Structure 1
């Protein structure tokens, strides 16, 4: 279900949304399936205006057939591969993060998920000279931490500041704020905030922090909100040709094995899933900490006997004092 919101299309203003909700019309599906003439009378709005809104909503949310050849040509012309800055992780991801796709890092507390996200942001902004949207849902991102990582890359203060300016941070501490942020980026704030600059990655750390409290039991609304987040992330990745990187918590299966959280409904959303864990028996080296990374899902790599689906990552530890 897609909830009706002000500004979703021309003519759908705050007053009309309020009148539609009063008439029991709360989602796009409700509008599309309603008798427009009857609905116009109930909401005291012109039939012509409501019919136009219905057509736009259908165009935005209905699926249209496309040939496999067209999809393949589009893939070849639009996909870019972004290095994460970590050679071992790049090898596991078949060269790096792919634009137009969602990649997930799952792991428990202290597994290095956020640190990997920070490293990806710094690498894309400094080495690749591209902009990054970083949505922080836990309050764990600090500019000082990014600056420390940049100082390890370059001693040039001007380069450090330029790289920091390419990392655009948003904070969203509940699912509604996250949806507002994602919808705003999709509606044009993405290009406006950058003055026409090039964004190559959208990072959400963590998507599960704002979704998992709403799941479980009979909380159907939580499931609907989770799928709305998934839908907007997919649309952003595809329409803006960016790589989307999200983090997720972990749970244990009936057999006691670690597995990504958010359940079976979320599982098809990421095209690639990586499980991060503390590496047992591996000693830390210098200022780096060793983590185990396991490929548990990939749209490109079929698991074969002897195929590399597990690597060790050396994640540099940065201590930031506030």
Structure 2
């Protein structure tokens, strides 16, 4: 159960939280939401009626997020159903127009296949419409200069960069806390930046998981699940937000290739498959779309993107692309 804290109640000071705990005997958000004596809470926290109502509204949004009704999913005016262009024609075609709100896109592939460049290109498209982006830089190599190029350069592009917030958590626990903090800020409607949020990018998830993967499988799986749970709750608060996860790829030996043949050096590339590194037991069904990025071994500087999973379109579709100054260009 959520406790009353600066993260869950950002409009309250530390002193007000302390007084709520001491004078009103409230430690959990549920206590605050179900409080029968309104004046006692207002007195303890030194709030006027308007401040109290705003606080209670934000608390209820956190502990009881509104459901997404089927009527909302079908109405063309809903942000959930209206695809937003990614700025990449080939990708828009694969996604039937672009990314919708409350959808998760997973990009995976080898190093140097343009996963981060694709994130920058999609981000620049979102920034053009004065909406905002939260970018989890889990590799600690975010380049504002490169994003500025994708936005077209110039004073207008520099101004757009104000609408992207780069977040650099140091471990898995911090990632969960940061996602929860975003959800709380959206619930309390405290900041205009979070009210205009349309895209969250995690680049890349394995980089924050690999350092702890040998310590305890149960531990990192737990936090991986909590990240997804927090995002799904966030979707319920704002169905106009889309999420992109950047993942690594691993090569798996297909069934039927004998160990004897492997040792003898008889290796056929058709006996190997490329899959996403985070596995398929819990994570596999979470993304709405999964896109595999590969280098073209025959043509230098050319890449391909193949749709391996899709909630709306046919799997197996692909497009070719190149990485240019203005970002990803499909052809």
Greater C-alpha Rg: 2
Matched residues in 2 for 1:207 and 1:45: separation? 43
Which SS does the other structure have where 2:170 is aligned?
coil
Corresponding residue of 1:229: 227
Corresponding residue of 1:139: 140
The one of 293, 298, 301 equivalent to 1:281 is 298
Give the C-alpha shift of residue 118 in structure 1: 1.0
Give the C-alpha shift of residue 129 in structure 1: 2.9
Q: Is the 8 A contact 1:237 1:244 kept in 2?
A: no
Q: Is the 8 A contact 1:89 1:313 kept in 2?
A: no
Corresponding residue of 1:88: 90
Matched residues in 2 for 1:48 and 1:5: separation? 8
Corresponding residue of 2:317: 309
Aligned CA-pair RMSD? 3.8
Give the C-alpha shift of residue 49 in structure 1: 6.8
Give the C-alpha shift of residue 254 in structure 1: 2.9
Q: How does 1:122-137 map to 2 (within 5 A)?
A: 122-126=124-128, 128-137=129-138
Matched residues in 1 for 2:66 and 2:149: separation? 48
Give the C-alpha shift of residue 192 in structure 1: 4.2
Change over 3 Å in CA distance of 1:215–1:6 after alignment to 2: farther
Unaligned runs of 5+ in 2: 15-21, 35-58, 255-271
Which segments of structure 1 move beyond 3 Å, counting only runs of 4 or more? 2-10, 44-67, 69-76, 189-197, 212-218
Corresponding residue of 2:158: 161
Change over 3 Å in CA distance of 1:266–1:172 after alignment to 2: same
Change over 3 Å in CA distance of 1:193–1:54 after alignment to 2: closer
Matched residues in 2 for 1:103 and 1:253: separation? 22
Corresponding residue of 1:287: none
Corresponding residue of 1:293: 305
Matched residues in 1 for 2:160 and 2:235: separation? 22
Matched residues in 2 for 1:51 and 1:113: separation? 39
Corresponding residue of 1:120: 122
Q: Summarize deviations over 1:4-49 as a string: whole Å, max 9, x none.
A: 7846767xx99xxxxxxxxxxxxxxxxxxxxxxxxxxxxx999997
Give the C-alpha shift of residue 309 in structure 1: 1.0
Matched residues in 2 for 1:277 and 1:96: separation? 21
Corresponding residue of 2:108: 106
Change over 3 Å in CA distance of 1:195–1:108 after alignment to 2: closer
Corresponding residue of 1:253: 252
Corresponding residue of 1:243: 242
Give the C-alpha shift of residue 115 in structure 1: 0.8
Q: Summarize deviations over 1:57-109 as a string: whole Å, max 9, x none.
A: 99966899987x44634786232322111111211222111111111111121
Matched residues in 1 for 2:273 and 2:112: separation? 18
Corresponding residue of 2:149: 148
Out of 83-92 and 56-65, give the one that drifted further.
Answer: 56-65
Matched residues in 2 for 1:61 and 1:216: separation? 34
Matched residues in 1 for 2:174 and 2:226: separation? 13
Change over 3 Å in CA distance of 1:92–1:147 after alignment to 2: same
Matched residues in 1 for 2:61 and 2:198: separation? 26
Matched residues in 1 for 2:199 and 2:251: separation? 30
Unaligned runs of 5+ in 1: 15-43, 285-289
Matched residues in 2 for 1:114 and 1:185: separation? 22
Matched residues in 1 for 2:174 and 2:76: separation? 32
Which SS does the other structure have where 1:164 is aligned?
helix
Which SS does the other structure have where 1:81 is aligned?
coil
Give the C-alpha shift of residue 160 in structure 1: 1.6
Out of 181-190 and 129-138, give the one that drifted further.
Answer: 181-190
The one of 166, 171, 176 equivalent to 2:168 is 171
